[in-house]
A and B are shown apart, each in its own frame.
Chain A
Amino acid sequence: MNMNLTLKIWRQKNASDKGKMVDYKVTDISPDMSFLEMLDVLNEQLINKDEEPVAFDHDCREGICGMCSLYINGEAHGPDRAVTTCQLHMRMFKDGDTITIEPFRATAFPVVKDLIVDRSSFDRIQHAGGFISVNTSGNTIDANTIPINKHDADTAFEAATCIGCGACVASCKNSSAMLFVGAKVSQFALLPQGKVEATDRVLNMVKQMDEEGFGNCTNTGACEVECPKGISLENIARMNSEYLKASLKG
């Protein structure tokens, strides 16, 4: 059965505007639509009425790019588990529901417009050390020539599935980025190629994370529950021990 919904949406003209919640109605929403398609319907309605459409981030619409954000009814990416907003189906809601839609909130994620936030703080953390230096002069060694035990390879791979969406920060009561940074540190720390620069990597990434104004992890575990990729808290523990080891060395 198609649904009629009330939407409470954060509207903010630009970064310096104060912004406020505005109520909208959408009708005849199919339960098979994704949440973003529902917002497309709303925007079409607004455009037809010559009103400013609601700005929101999206790109792949299949859960791999991490662009879609949104804090829906008090949870990052809404009430479903292990999904991004583009993968959230309207069947999670009921006819007559009121849905509150807000941007991800964190000092390090300033609002650009409406529901769009600037997550370039994540990029700067990556630039600080989220890479390995490889000689690409023409005789680059194939990574697969180095044997890696299955457990480490799997754990590194799982960490590497982080799509940098920022749901962990948005869900954390402290706006901590430690699940993201933990994943980015772990994906290299576990592999021989990553071990070479492990000390500088963790020190520099954590330094950048702190400079960006993210909060301190207090292990509430909210990030792990809300992460669309199921990144585990073990990654934060690994980052902590990597960091402590690195501080003793460097």
Chain B
Amino acid sequence: MSGILNSSIGRKFAMALSALFLMIFLLQHFAINLLSVFSPDAFNDVSHFMGTFWAIQYLLQPVLIFGVIFHFVMGFVLEIKNRKARTISYAKNNGAANSSWMSRNMIYSGLAILAFICLHFYDFWLPEINTKYIQGDMSGLLANGEFRYFEELQHKFVDIWRVALYCIAFIFLALHLLHGFNSAFQSVGANNKYTKGLKGFGKAYAIIIPLGFVFIALFHHFNH
């Protein structure tokens, strides 16, 4: 078991595990965001719970942050190693003849997602940390006594440029997952009748979830 991250297959396995974890997280994030479309109150309640429950704040949140960092750092490591494996490139290469654009450009779709995550942290995570742990206001309330989460969410999506950036990022996320979802199963060594059955589900996940996020962003832009 020792030094599994020193082997090519071990690194791929770790990459896939972090990716599978991120995809489960994404589903949960999506479900909560979707609440904001149907019921601001429910969204507020869940947000307050997520933002203040100790196990989520002090256990799951660090795990998530580690997962994200691990995933993109390992992504860069693999990309650098793979480039070293061919230092002279072909004068003519017809990649489209044998593989999808998504599969050949995971590092670029990944970089776009990383840029988005930075923006997203700046938009939501940093203000949240500031309010709760620097100002010390754990109440989750506005001056008028109402929960602040839905209000803050709506406020963020007024700016059309931010909405546009979010939408573009989700397109890259869809491209990343169109290859990544099924790739992750292959990486952990599962390629059988069950994973073949999952292929359609993977494609659906990769399109529906990012499209859903786009819908939510647009919904709040047009309904505030």
A residues near B183, Cβ cutoff 8 Å: 218-219
B residues near A107, Cβ cutoff 8 Å: 84-87
Question: Is there an interface contact between A216 and B186, defined as CB atoms closer than 8 Å?
Answer: no
Stretch at the interface among A32-40, A71-79, A157-165, A191-199: A71-79
Binary interface encoding of chain A residues 199-228 relative to chain B, with 1 for a CB under 8 A from any of its CBs, else 0: 000000011011001111111111001100
- How distant is the Cα of A209 from the Cα of B10 in the complex, in angstroms? 13
Question: Is there an interface contact between A215 and B10, defined as CB atoms closer than 8 Å?
Answer: no
B145 interface hit (Cβ, 8 Å): no
Residue on A nearest B103 in the bound complex, by CB: A220
B8 interface hit (Cβ, 8 Å): yes
- How distant is the Cα of A208 from the Cα of B5 in the complex, in angstroms? 15
Question: Is there an interface contact between B82 and A174, defined as CB atoms closer than 8 Å?
Answer: yes
Which residue of A71, A102, A209, A242 contacts B8 across the interface (Cβ within 8 Å)?
A: A209
Question: Is there an interface contact between A240 and B9, defined as CB atoms closer than 8 Å?
Answer: yes
Which residue of B9, B81, B92, B186 contacts A244 across the interface (Cβ within 8 Å)?
A: B9
- How distant is the Cα of A105 from the Cα of B186 in the complex, in angstroms? 25
A247 interface hit (Cβ, 8 Å): yes
Which residue of A106, A108, A216, A241 contacts B190 across the interface (Cβ within 8 Å)?
A: A241
Query: Which size class do A's interface residues fall under?
Result: 35 or more
B93 interface hit (Cβ, 8 Å): yes
> Distance in Å from the Cβ of B70 to the closest Cβ of chain A?
16
Question: Is there an interface contact between B7 and A207, defined as CB atoms closer than 8 Å?
Answer: yes
A126 interface hit (Cβ, 8 Å): no
A residues near B147, Cβ cutoff 8 Å: none
Question: Is there an interface contact between B9 and A75, defined as CB atoms closer than 8 Å?
Answer: no
Which residue of B85, B89, B91, B192 contacts A21 across the interface (Cβ within 8 Å)?
A: B91
Question: Is there an interface contact between A75 and B98, defined as CB atoms closer than 8 Å?
Answer: yes
B residues near A247, Cβ cutoff 8 Å: 1, 4, 7, 10
Question: Is there an interface contact between A219 and B94, defined as CB atoms closer than 8 Å?
Answer: no
Residue on B nearest A234 in the bound complex, by CB: B191
Residue on A nearest B84 in the bound complex, by CB: A107
Contact A216 to B11, CB < 8 A, known contacts A106-B86, A176-B85: yes
Which residue of B1, B86, B106, B190 contacts A105 across the interface (Cβ within 8 Å)?
A: B86
Residue on B nearest A223 in the bound complex, by CB: B98
- How distant is the Cα of A74 from the Cα of B182 in the complex, in angstroms? 26
Which residue of B10, B87, B95 contacts A173 across the interface (Cβ within 8 Å)?
A: B95
A233 interface hit (Cβ, 8 Å): yes
A171 interface hit (Cβ, 8 Å): yes
12 contacts between A and B (CB under 8 A): A73-B92, A105-B90, A174-B82, A213-B85, A214-B85, A217-B8, A219-B179, A221-B99, A222-B99, A239-B9, A240-B186, A247-B7
